[in-house]
Every structure is written in C-alpha cells, then in structure tokens.
Chain A
C-alpha cells in the first residue's frame, strides 16, 4: 500500500475505509458533479473511476480493487431506461446479479460490494449514498485480513 491510504481521522483513531467506485460517465458521474455544484458535503473515503457506461465494468475490475485492498467497492450507473447507450446498464445488472452471488459464496459479502442507480439529477442521492456506504463499511470494519482476493507479499 502507498502513502495514499487515507489515514485514520485525525484525533479519533477510527477506521477510515477505502472504497473504490466504478461509475458511468453520463448519470452517476454527472450526479456526483451535481452534488458538487450543490455543495453537498459527504465522506472523503470514495475514489471514483469513471467509465463510459456500467456496461463497460468488467467483473475483474471489482476483483482487482479487492486485490488491491479496497475495503469495499461501489458500482453505480444510470437508472433503467436512462442509459445513455440505451441498454448498457441492463447488461451490467445481469452480470452483477450473478457475479455478486459468486463473490458472496466465496466470502466477499454484500457489505463489501454495493450497487446503485444514481441519475445526473440525483446529487443528493449520490451524497447520501456515499455517506451511507462509508458508514456501513466503517461498521463492517477493515476487510483485512479476511479479504480472500487480497494480494499479499511473499512470505
């Protein structure tokens, strides 16, 4: 891990989760922009990776994030019917249905993997989402050492 891992909140020794978010460019990224232009404050624990569409999100992206030690992964895109590419999010939805089942069975539970639809108009929803996910993960605690996908140094 590099120096960029958020350190515990100053003063409190509380655990500060690291969350990787994969979002689509047209809805959720724009929703995050709206949260910004509306000056909505939310937890600083999430790092967004922008993709054109949730359809582009390869399940392996999610694995890679966990490999790298993310405490949780958030995936978010356009509401059904709103996809800029008409059906990318529908394809993604199917993929997630099956992939999350597989991850859950193998030890990456729902508290580690979150999904949502956030439209370009839902700045508030985005802020609430980030706060809520961060809080849930904070309660779940660090994913170390349980994380079965984690890359670990040679012993």
Chain B
C-alpha cells in the first residue's frame, strides 16, 4: 500500500503568486495513496528539506512528490534529502509548478487547476516507482584530448600532472594552434611563442602524454568511463623515429611556392615542411598534394639529401583504436571569411587583410621578420585602418554574436603598429569597445592615450582601391555625426570568430550538441560550463564560444579538473535508468538490437544444464545502455521496459489526465 507525501513549494512568490499552493496541497492530500500534503515557502531551504525528511520517517513514506521548480534545478537536492532520510532517492519525483505553470500562466484558478494535475501525474507515477540502485561502471583512467592548441595543451598538461594518462590528438603536423601564430599577446604584450613553446615542449615530453600530431579522431563509441576511439594517423612520409629534424630536406625541396598555412598565406612553404621553426614535434611531413615525387613520381630530392634515410614515399595512413574514460574537446576556432563583404572588396583587395595576417606581419618569425609591410607592394603602410566587428554582430551577412576578443587584439594591433612605425597613423572603426577583463580597458586606454590610436565610433561603408594604390575607406563617425573618408595604405579586418569547419560533423561523431552557430553546447550555461550534455565529454577553449587565451586556459584547467575528478574513482556510479528484457516473452526478433543507438542489446543464448541451446533472446548490457528507451517502443510483444519510465508508470500518468 503506497504512502505518498506531497510537498508544495511556494518558491517565495514565484509559485505562490499565481498558484494557490495551500489549495494544491489540500487537493493532493485527498489523492488516493497520499498520506500527507503540505505547502511551504521554500522547500529547497534547510527547514524545507527537514520537513520532507521528517515526514519520510514519521509517516513511513514509500514515495515523495516535491512540487516546486524544474527537476533540472533541484531534483538532485531533494533526492539527496530523501536518501538521507533512508528513502531510495528514485522514489522521489518532482512536479514542475514553476517553469511549467506559475511562470507561464496568469489566471490563478486555471494555473491552480493545472498545478493539481501536474501533482496528480507525479503522484500516480511515484506510486509505481521501484527502488533503483546506481550502476557502477569501470573507468579507464586515460583521457583523450582533441586539439593541440593552447586549450588542448593546458588540459593535457593538467591531467598528466594529475598523474593520469593522456592521448593528445592534433590534426596539423605541429602543436601550438593559433596561439603559436600570434606575435604578442594582450594586455601584457609578452611574446606569444616565448610563453607557448615551453608548454609545447613540456607536454610533448611528458611521460603521461601520448602525442599524436597529424592525426584525426574518426570514430567514437562507448560511453563515460570507457569510450572506444579510432584515430587516423595521416601518412607523414617521414619516419619520426629516424628523422633528426636537421632540415636538410626542406632547404632543398624544389617546390617552394606553396602558401604557408601558418603564415596565413603571406609567406611560402615547401612541399616537405615543418609549419614553423619551433614546431613540436620538430619533424617535417610531406604534403602529398604538392610533392612532385608523390604526384608525378619524379624528384626524390629530400630522400637523397636526408642523412638518416627517414623519407618514406610509400608511407600510408594508419588507424589506431584506443580506450579512454573521458574526452576533452578543444578543437578551437577559425576566422570568418570576409569575402562575403562586397563593400570591403569581397576579399579581392590584397591590402585588406585579416587579424592573423597582421599578426604574422608583426611577428619576428613572420614572412617580413616583424616589419609591417603591406602584401601588395611590400611598402611600409603610413596609414592603417582597423575595422572591428567584421562579420560579428551582423545577423544578415555574418554572425549574430559578439566575437569577444577583437576589441582587445585590435587595440594590440594599433600598439604594435605604432611601436614599429612611429610616424604611422592607426585608425580604428568600432561599434562598441568591449574590454571587460583584468587590465583590458587600461590596455585600450593605453592604445588611445599613449600610443595615439584614433578611435572612430562607426561603421565603414566601403573600401576601394584608387589607381594610385591608396585604399579609400569611407565610413561614418557617429559621435561627430559626419561621414569620414580615410586614405589608407593597409586595412585590417577584425573578422568574426567561428567554429572550425566541420565542427558539426565532429559533434555528431562525439554525440554532443551544438548551437545554431555550430559552437558546442555546454551542459548548463551557468552551472556546468565545461561539461557537455554527454557524460564524460568536456569542452575547452574557443570550440564552445569565442575566448581569449586566459579564458581558454582557465576552461582547459577546469575541464582537466573534471576529468581528474572522474578518474579519482576506479568505478563511477551511473543513473540506473536502463532497459530490461523480459526473457520469458522475448521472441528474439532483433528489432531492439537493430534499434539501440549504443549497441547495448546483445543476443543471449539460454541453455539447459547440459549446455544445449534452448532459445536465444535479447539481453541489455547495463554498462552500455544509456536509458533512451527507444528499444522499448519498438518491441511488439512489449518485452522490454525502462527503469524509471516503465510502461506502467507512463500509462498511469496518462490515465490521470482523463
């Protein structure tokens, strides 16, 4: 005989304002199987929880319904309370009177009626809840980090230093990501490579880290604690074991005119190459697309000059399978393609460049060894116009969101430029200056006040190239309320930050959600910012939203902490919401086996004592089952059910709505 307790929360005024809580409590008390129905100002408060615990003990409750906010908010809180009072936590359910009722309705009688229905639904459900006990699954204490930029490096280092194994996968030939391409970093102007390269070396040399550059994750199966991951290592055509990184090969390579990805196409690279001198690992790879030997079958210079015979033209892609307990996704960002802006030359004006190109121009290791020289004619620009929000905050042509870091790096660019070209003129067009962050606004002020950058609030309507090579920049000064025209030698567009191309396919492979802009979705925007909704997969860096270096590093460390927490136990407890097969009535049509998204249902042979097969049935692997219940709905003989959402429970819920 069920003994249900119902607890109605006013949530201060939030529920009480539109729902007559005492009336709901009274109605609940009348419901069959309910032995107590009470209301209270704040159920989640300590006295509120005490009230529930006391009732569980005194009234020997077999089930509890807390009618309050969304279960996404406080279900764990109340279930913990129930457990503390000795009631199996899965015998407690929540009715969502706040998000689903009081906040969305005004009419008090109607809202109260609906609230009573919502309570009744849960009362009927909870009467049919069974005790459930967390399932423990073994944890493989190795983490996979996808992406070798600063976020991935930081996450890998923190996990490795925490004493756990890490597999760090980077798709390009070297670690470093975008940060390695920056000249200086805001707001301190310390040299990017000087602070990054030691980390790159450290992570590569770390005994707990397996570094896999020039590799991509191609398949992910399994679940938190034991993911099965397939990684494709692209053919390098250079044997890393024997290569000493002497560089003879790329000095001699005859194919010299390939636009360097690292230098944002401002400089060339060879067909056999290391992306940049400080690359880690500092071993070249051959770009099969451009290598004469691999395309035309003649050349072979690198093989001839290689002192250790490390060149292997017959190298092929290889696949490795690894088992990991957690995954950190740090796939980063790229710049939005501003060729969509016809008014800015549609990408056809050589001297209209993006932020990374300016970084490479300003970088001592760049194609101009740190001198600001414009691409078209190598002249030192006397006037440089910087345009912020290029693609950002432009729902019609670009992206609707603010890219967050452009205000800061544009300020940095003006300072770098003014330091290198003292008599040069740096003009910035901006919509707003968003410099929230430690020392950030001071940095922008410095650009304006100390380094004399001219900030103009307004948009640029058109850029065109006059026959004398000047870039005519027409815009509006919306503070002065006048149109402005500037004759510039170089224009730098602060292009929007967008997720990597293919971010969506990666998400589908991982089974994580992404938003309309293809940024990966965190489990909760405030309270779970580094977890995804998929257990065991965490986010770090700009793949989740535009971020600067400190934010990326902070999130990476947070993700690492989550991983280490997960790895701190040999086994982890999972919500016991799993499907079960009634083997007596299963006829093994295999529909469920075909259906299961997790391949969690297997053929199981029922044998007699002599080991003769009696018949075969479907059986659920608890470890693999994630509890979606899709199998339950395809079973014609209804021989599968889902703990926590059994047919009996759901039908009882439906019945209450008659």
Contacts and interface: CB of A to CB of B under 8 A. Distances in A.
A41 B72 contact: no
Interface string B518-546: 00000000000000011000000000000
A5 B508 CA distance: 43
Contacts of A86: 508, 511, 597
Given A33-B70, A52-B645, A68 B654 contact: yes
A37 B113 CA distance: 21
A136 interface: no
Contacts of B658: 1-2, 5, 68-69
Contact of A36 (B104, B597, B626, B632): B104
Contacts of B118: 47
A36 B103 contact: yes
B106 interface: yes
A121 interface: yes
B385 to A, nearest CB: 37
Interface string B102-139: 01111101110110111011000000000000000000
Nearest to B656: A4
A56 B642 contact: yes
Nearest to B516: A121
A139 B564 CA distance: 57
A84 B592 CA distance: 18
A85 B513 contact: no
A40 B656 contact: no
Contacts of B515: 121
Interface string A25-56: 01001101101110111101001110111011
A56 B628 contact: yes
Contacts of A52: 577, 627-629, 642, 644-645
B613 interface: no
Contact of B657 (A29, A32, A37, A68): A68
B99 interface: yes
B395 to A, nearest CB: 16
Sort A-B residue pairs by CB-CB distance and give the 6 closest, nearest first.
A36-B99, A55-B630, A56-B629, A85-B628, A68-B658, A53-B628
A37 B103 contact: yes
Given A36-B103, A44-B110, A20 B657 contact: yes
Nearest to A19: B657
Contacts of B513: 82, 84
Given A33-B70, A33-B100, A49 B654 contact: yes
B351 interface: no
Considering residues A33, A61, A68, which has the most beta carbons from chain B within 10 angstroms of its beta carbon? A33
B634 interface: yes
B589 to A, nearest CB: 16
18 contacts: A4-B657, A6-B110, A7-B113, A33-B99, A36-B103, A37-B99, A41-B105, A44-B101, A47-B121, A49-B121, A49-B650, A49-B653, A52-B628, A55-B630, A59-B633, A84-B513, A85-B626, A88-B630
B269 interface: no
Contact of B647 (A47, A58, A65, A68): A58
A65 B106 CA distance: 27
B629 A53 contact: yes
A81 interface: yes
Contact of A127 (B104, B114, B516): B104
B595 interface: yes
Contacts of A44: 101, 105, 107, 110-111, 113-114
Nearest to A1: B658
Given A30-B72, A33-B72, A44-B111, A53 B630 contact: yes
B98 interface: yes
Interface in B615-658: 626-630, 632-634, 642, 644-645, 647, 650-651, 653-658
Interface residues of B, number: 54
Nearest to B508: A81
Given A33-B70, A68-B658, A84-B533, A55 B628 contact: yes
A129 interface: no
A65 B654 contact: yes
B561 to A, nearest CB: 24
A99 B504 CA distance: 31
A57 interface: yes
Nearest to A20: B657
Given A47-B117, A84-B533, A55 B104 contact: no
Contact of B651 (A1, A33, A64): A64
A57 B633 contact: yes
A18 interface: yes
Nearest to A10: B109
Interface string B563-600: 00000000000000100000000000000000101100
A81 B513 CA distance: 8
A65 B657 contact: yes
Given A47-B121, A53-B630, A56-B630, 7 more contacts: A2-B656, A9-B110, A36-B104, A48-B100, A86-B511, A88-B597, A121-B515
Nearest to B626: A85
A58 B591 CA distance: 14
Contacts of B655: 64, 68
B103 A39 contact: yes
Contacts of B626: 85
Interface in B472-503: none
Given A56-B629, A57-B633, A58-B633, A41 B113 contact: no
Contacts of B117: 4, 47
B533 A55 contact: no
A56 B645 CA distance: 9
Contact of B630 (A39, A61, A85, A127): A85
A29 B626 CA distance: 18
A70 interface: yes
